Structure 1
């Protein structure tokens, strides 16, 4: 198993453990990458289960949202490799009231490599 994938799975487990002790987040949320300038941002809209991933900095990196679902699946990835000032929308379908936990990172769009050191904090929201 490649080192990056192992690191991603470890980060996912840490995020889920963090989520288990967290209180319920308000519906309709937003998160940024760990950098002070919010180079990557994702929003989650509960009605319709819609993620939008924004690339907000001309840094040569893609913005990527990583999310986990109650069935134990994840991380699922939503990539925005379109460059600064763009957004990508993903319209998902899962049961009303179901939770989704997500975080936003930067990545290398070509090889689809997530740069884990850039990931912002996880948040849990509800459909």
Structure 2
């Protein structure tokens, strides 16, 4: 009986350590626009608080990431007006453990007009 308890305790500790490692890895995320082809995509890397916005379609629109911060500010915007196959990276700075909520949309790069009907679902991630 004592051996079984010890085995369960060791398994529980190993599981907890695995989950702790997994939570840090899960902080990296990606979102797309609502279209089936994912014309615009953004990734967020928690280490360094780095967004990358990808334009993945030759549709004449820019890809834009909109994000909000815990201080209530936003939406802040990261525009990629470079055309199909390009990406733009933004290296942000906010405290470890802070949240960021973001979504990805298409827009008109010249007037900086976001096409709200193209925005994908919002996602909250952590630094």
Q: Give the structure-1-normalised TM-score.
A: 0.80
| Larger CA Rg, structure 1 vs 2 | 2
Residue 82 of structure 2: aligned partner: 82
Query: Given the alignment of the two structures, is residue 42 of structure 1 paired with residue 45 of structure 2, yes or no?
Result: no
CA displacement at 1:72 relative to structure 2: 0.1
Unaligned runs of 5+ in 2: 1-25
How many residues in Structure 1 have an aligned counterpart in Structure 2?
102
Unaligned runs of 5+ in 1: 1-25
CA displacement at 1:94 relative to structure 2: 0.1
CA displacement at 1:76 relative to structure 2: 0.1
Residue 106 of structure 1: aligned partner: 106
Higher fraction of helix: 2
CA displacement at 1:77 relative to structure 2: 0.2
Name the Cα RMSD after superposition.
0.4
Higher relative contact order by CA 8 Å / sep ≥ 6: 1 or 2? Answer: 1
Moved over 6 A (4+): none
C-alpha distance in 1, partners of 2:106/2:118?
6
Q: Give the structure-2-normalised TM-score.
A: 0.80
Residue 5 of structure 2: aligned partner: none
CA displacement at 1:104 relative to structure 2: 0.0
